[in-house]
């Protein structure tokens, strides 16, 4: 007698290695039907993350094929799609890895209740994080609002060892029909930027693992210093893979922990960064408004500026402030931005331009291939001063002095700003191919003068801050 299948609903876990929901499903002995659903929540992704997701889906379909399986693609509301698949295949259960952003939580709760009501075996597993957000509690039983005590609480905790990928996935006798990935047009909104960013992506499980190995084989030793220098390849660049789940966080943690045990300098700093990621999810779970509203409501009365010509100059990498423009251009060329750059451009937008942080948050969500709902929200609210454990508003990064400190030889600037170099390199020039033609940018034009005097912008921000009592 042939066993009825289980459906594996893949979302941000495009891997076979270190995947608890897959191990649980394989243990059932039933045939498995892997599915990816282009539902309204996924359709709503920004241009760059959606394009990059399409690449990830394509790579994962190949990984599954090599393991004797397939990735079935369906479009529509998740519950309707899953119900249809259950009816078509006679599946007795649906498994997935948990997500924690507000929209996914609402969707998944509804899907789970409805499928359970039909008598199906429905299981949601950990997989995206090391520590489920509700399992880390303060002594008083609440959640952590500050990173350092959170780090102290989790640093010594056991993280289960990663589970190896199964060599083969049991296939059903009959495969249900699948959409064609090309028909989903996941790259449509990226337009011409896709061709430029394509040179920088590293897609799929093997690529992610190679990145981890390469980082731990050398750069980790200098990570504590080099992670602040945007011109150096000093960080792991794993954010692109972690966000689509092309590598399991437990795999990364255990590899880094081994480096730490071997006394590798930089390994502890790297472990701490992985915990920043966990912390951002802890915050998003407990205070979901972090994704769209001031975490501290005292900031609701702050006179943030709305969108306008200054924000547009910021978006275009044309503020005349070299560090800011370099980082913004890095994002259009590579799809990611160095952490130091993210801090500078976010501080500049929210302080020197006094523009609402949600404008920057939304723009990053459209442009970053490593967009992550929790890290992006925490990062923006941190920079703006409105978030938990945030940089105090009165501490304003000066992009000019930051440049001297973190790009003293000007390599980062020259790499991405064609107008500042006599013989611009291919990356600096490719910025002009990546951005919308409608922006009318031209490398032969003069680099713009600063749109805001740094001292004036700083004084204006501080005055607005003082006017509301300097709290928050």
Rounded Cα gap, residues 87 and 165, in angstroms:
29
Question: Do the Cβ atoms of 144 and 281 come closer than 8 Å?
Answer: no
Write down the catalytic residue from 380, 382, 398, 427: 380
Stretch that binds ligand FAD, among 37-45, 58-66, 306-314, 337-345 (CB under 6 A): 337-345
Q: Is 277 in the site for ligand FAD (CB under 6 A)?
A: yes
Of 341-360, which residues contact ligand FAD (CB under 6 A)? 342-343, 346
CB of 214 vs ligand FAD, minimal distance in Å: 11
Element of type H or E holding 7:
strand 6-10
Contact with ligand FAD (CB under 6 A) among 101, 372, 407, 427: 372
Q: How far apart are the two ends of the chain, measured CA to CA in Å?
A: 65
Q: Is 376 in the site for ligand FAD (CB under 6 A)?
A: yes
Q: Is 371 in the site for ligand FAD (CB under 6 A)?
A: yes
Tell me the backbone φ, ψ of residue 189, rounded to 5 degrees.
Answer: -75, -15
What is the edge-to-edge ordering of all strands in the sheet holding 32-38?
72-75, 32-38, 6-10, 93-97, 121-125
CB of 76 vs ligand FAD, minimal distance in Å: 27
Stretch that binds ligand FAD, among 61-69, 122-130, 273-281, 327-335 (CB under 6 A): 273-281
User: Closest CB to ligand FAD among 302 and 380?
Assistant: 380
CB of 190 vs ligand FAD, minimal distance in Å: 17
Which two three-digit tokens encode residue 230? 């945007």
Rounded Cα gap, residues 465 and 278, in angstroms:
31
In the three-class reduction of DSSP (H, G, I as helix; E, B as strand; rest coil), residue 256 is classed as helix
Which two three-digit tokens encode residue 318? 């044309």
Rounded Cα gap, residues 405 and 409, in angstroms:
10
Which two three-digit tokens encode residue 463? 């005055």
CB of 291 vs ligand FAD, minimal distance in Å: 11
Stretch that binds ligand FAD, among 167-175, 274-282, 310-318, 436-444 (CB under 6 A): 274-282
Q: Is 375 in the site for ligand FAD (CB under 6 A)?
A: yes
Which residue from 91, 116, 111 is spatially nearest to 33, judged by alpha carbons? 91
Count of Cβ atoms closer than 10 Å to residue 440 Cβ: 9
Helix 339-347 / helix 357-367 crossing angle, nearest 10 deg: 140
> Is 88 a known active-site residue?
no
Which residue from 447, 373, 464 is spatially nearest to 99, judged by alpha carbons? 373
Count of Cβ atoms closer than 10 Å to residue 265 Cβ: 14
User: Closest CB to ligand FAD among 208 and 418?
Assistant: 208
CB of 71 vs ligand FAD, minimal distance in Å: 24
> Is 273 a known active-site residue?
yes
Write down the catalytic residue from 253, 304, 363, 382: 304
The residue written with tokens 């930089």 in the block is 266
Count of Cβ atoms closer than 10 Å to residue 171 Cβ: 16
> Is 314 a known active-site residue?
no
Which two three-digit tokens encode residue 68? 């004797």
User: Closest CB to ligand FAD among 227 and 282?
Assistant: 227
> Is 339 a known active-site residue?
yes
> Is 380 a known active-site residue?
yes
Stretch that binds ligand FAD, among 67-75, 305-313, 369-377, 420-428 (CB under 6 A): 369-377
Question: Do the Cβ atoms of 129 and 13 come closer than 8 Å?
Answer: no
Which residue from 214, 240, 247 is spatially nearest to 17, judged by alpha carbons? 247
Count of Cβ atoms closer than 10 Å to residue 471 Cβ: 9
User: Closest CB to ligand FAD among 172 and 335?
Assistant: 335
Write down the catalytic residue from 9, 357, 363, 371: 357
Which two three-digit tokens encode residue 184? 């989903």
CB of 148 vs ligand FAD, minimal distance in Å: 14
CB of 402 vs ligand FAD, minimal distance in Å: 13
Q: How many residues bind ligand FAD (CB under 6 A)?
A: 27
Write down the catalytic residue from 175, 232, 276, 419: 276
> Is 357 a known active-site residue?
yes
Q: Is 15 in the site for ligand FAD (CB under 6 A)?
A: no
In the three-class reduction of DSSP (H, G, I as helix; E, B as strand; rest coil), residue 273 is classed as helix
CB of 87 vs ligand FAD, minimal distance in Å: 38
Contact with ligand FAD (CB under 6 A) among 5, 166, 230, 379: 379
Residue nearest to ligand FAD (CB): 379
What sign has the CA pseudo-torsion 337, 50, 239, 208? Answer: negative
Of 196-255, which residues contact ligand FAD (CB under 6 A)? 227, 235-239, 242-243
Active site residues: 273, 276, 304, 339, 357, 380
Binding residues (CB under 6 A) for ligand FAD: these are 227, 235-239, 242-243, 273-274, 276-277, 280, 339, 342-343, 346, 364, 368, 370-372, 375-376, 379-380, 383
């Amino acid at each position: 007698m042939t066993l009825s299948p289980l459906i594996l609903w893949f979302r941000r876990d495009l891997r076979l290695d270190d995947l608890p929901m897959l191990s649980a499903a394989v243990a059932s002995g039933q045939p498995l039907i892997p599915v990816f659903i282009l539902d309204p929540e996924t359709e709503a992704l920004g241009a760059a993350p959606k394009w990059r997701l399409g690449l990830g889906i394509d790579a994962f379909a190949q990984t599954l094929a090599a393991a004797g399986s397939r990735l079935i693609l369906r479009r529509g509301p998740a519950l309707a799609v899953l119900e249809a698949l259950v009816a078509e295949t006679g599946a007795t259960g649906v498994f997935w890895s948990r997500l924690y952003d507000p929209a996914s939580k609402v969707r998944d709760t509804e899907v789970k209740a409805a499928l359970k009501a039909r008598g199906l075996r429905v299981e949601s597993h950990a997989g995206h994080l090391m520590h489920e957000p509700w399992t880390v509690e303060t002594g008083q039983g609440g959640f952590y609002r500050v990173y350092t005590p959170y780090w102290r609480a989790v640093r010594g905790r056991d993280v289960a060892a990663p589970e190896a990928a199964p060599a083969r996935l049991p296939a059903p006798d009959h495969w249900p029909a699948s959409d064609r990935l090309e028909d989903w047009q996941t790259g449509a909104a990226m337009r011409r930027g896709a061709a430029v960013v394509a040179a920088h992506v590293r897609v799929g499980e093997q690529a992610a693992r190679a990145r981890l190995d390469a980082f731990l084989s050398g750069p980790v030793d200098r990570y504590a210093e080099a992670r602040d220098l945007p011109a150096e390849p000093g960080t792991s660049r794993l954010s692109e893979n972690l966000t689509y789940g092309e590598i399991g966080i437990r795999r990364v943690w255990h590899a880094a922990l081994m480096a730490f045990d071997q006394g590798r300098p930089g390994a502890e700093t790297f472990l701490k960064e992985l915990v920043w990621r966990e912390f951002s999810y802890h915050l998003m779970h407990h205070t979901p408004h972090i994704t769209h509203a001031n975490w501290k409501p005292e900031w609701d009365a702050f006179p943030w500026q709305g969108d306008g010509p200054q924000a547009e100059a910021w978006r275009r990498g044309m503020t005349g402030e070299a560090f800011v423009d370099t980082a913004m251009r890095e994002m259009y060329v590579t799809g990611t931005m160095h952490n130091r750059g993210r801090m500078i451009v976010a501080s500049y937008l929210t302080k020197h331009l006094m523009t609402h942080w949600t404008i920057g948050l939304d723009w990053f969500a459209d442009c970053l291939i490593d967009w992550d709902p929790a890290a992006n929200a925490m990062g923006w609210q941190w920079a703006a001063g409105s978030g938990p454990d945030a940089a105090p508003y009165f501490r304003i990064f000066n992009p000019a002095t930051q440049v001297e400190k973190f790009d003293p030889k000007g390599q980062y600037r020259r790499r991405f700003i064609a107008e500042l170099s006599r013989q611009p390199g291919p990356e600096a020039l490719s910025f002009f191919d990546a951005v919308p033609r409608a922006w009318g940018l031209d490398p032969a034009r003069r680099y713009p003068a600063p749109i805001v005097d740094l001292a004036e912008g700083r004084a204006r921000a501080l005055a607005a801050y003082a006017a509301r009592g300097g709290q928050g």
